Amino acid sequence: SNRFSFGKVSPLNSETVILRCGRLSYFSTIFMFKIQFYKNIIKMTTDLSVIGTHKVKSVLNGQSVELKTFWQDQNVAIIFFRRWGCMLCRLWAKELGEIAPVLHKNGIKMVGVGVEEAGSKEFVEGKFFDGDLYYAEELSTYQALNFKRFNVVSILASLFWKQSRDAIFKGRAMGLSGDTKGDWGQVGGALLVGPGGKLLREFRQTGPADHLPNEEILKAFGLEAEYTPEMANQKRDDTQCSTEVKP
């Protein structure tokens, strides 16, 4: 009599259905997460045709130029600094000086870009960077490059990370100092570009002391054979909290 009865489901079968639905939901979630992850990767890849139209002004003469002019017919390393008065940015600029002779010898232009004009005069006077200096006309340039922005609390906390403390210690040992002028929240990165707009490498700072290693810059331009241990800069490592500091 139960031959054509479809209304009964054994407890075991019910549990199996629930378990399978749970697994389906889990794998669906993982699948959607992966899709979003790869979407973010695609989004984070810089479109030079868009970025190239953003304008920067020369710190020395105020001339306004589009970023794409830097890579029209040459290799270029563009470093997007944080605020000019940040000791950690001055340290990065000095570290880049270790490979500047190699880059110049191989016809690779070095350009430093700041998030704003404030503090640029002191940066020039300090002779921290061996290249041409500019500042972004609009904050949207840094935003278009997906550079990280901190709030007041998080940027202050980042100065206690081990990476920051090590960099501050190194900077002080080199006689570097900083000031409080400018935008504290914005950090930068770098674009290494070949002639005609071929993106060789892009880099985004995870914190104010996160610097693209000199060895990786040379490698991007095929100059790894010219790297020596003396050209090494501040190590990148995991961020940890601790005591004392001021940028």
Q: State residue 44's pLDDT score.
A: 58
How far is residue 184's CA from residue 83's CA, in Å, rounded to a whole number? 7
DSSP state of 83: -
- 210 lies in a domain? yes
- 243 lies in a domain? no
Residue pair 66/54 in contact by the 8 Å Cβ criterion: yes
- 2 lies in a domain? no
- How many domains does the structure of the chain reveal? 2
Single-letter amino acid, residue 221: F
- 245 lies in a domain? no
- Whether residue 164 is found in the same domain as residue 84: yes
- Whether residue 114 is found in the same domain as residue 163: yes
The dihedral built from the CA positions of residue 89, 95, 97 and 100, taken in this order, carries a sign that is negative
- Whether residue 52 is found in the same domain as residue 24: no
Q: What is the CATH number of the domain that holds 94?
A: 3.40.30.10
- Whether residue 186 is found in the same domain as residue 81: yes
The pLDDT tens digits of the residues spanning 213-245 come to 999 999 999 999 999 988 987 554 443 333 333
- Whether residue 105 is found in the same domain as residue 207: yes
- Whether residue 21 is found in the same domain as residue 111: no
Q: State residue 230's pLDDT score.
A: 87
pTM higher than 0.85 for the full model?
A: no
Query: Which residue positions in the chain have pLDDT lower than 50?
Result: 1-10, 12, 14-15, 17-19, 21, 24-43, 236-246
Q: CA nearest 185: which of 144, 137, 153? A: 153
- For 19, the domain range is 9-44
173: which 2 tokens?
Answer: 């040992």
Q: State residue 22's pLDDT score.
A: 52
- Whether residue 105 is found in the same domain as residue 222: yes
Q: State residue 170's pLDDT score.
A: 96
- Whether residue 81 is found in the same domain as residue 200: yes
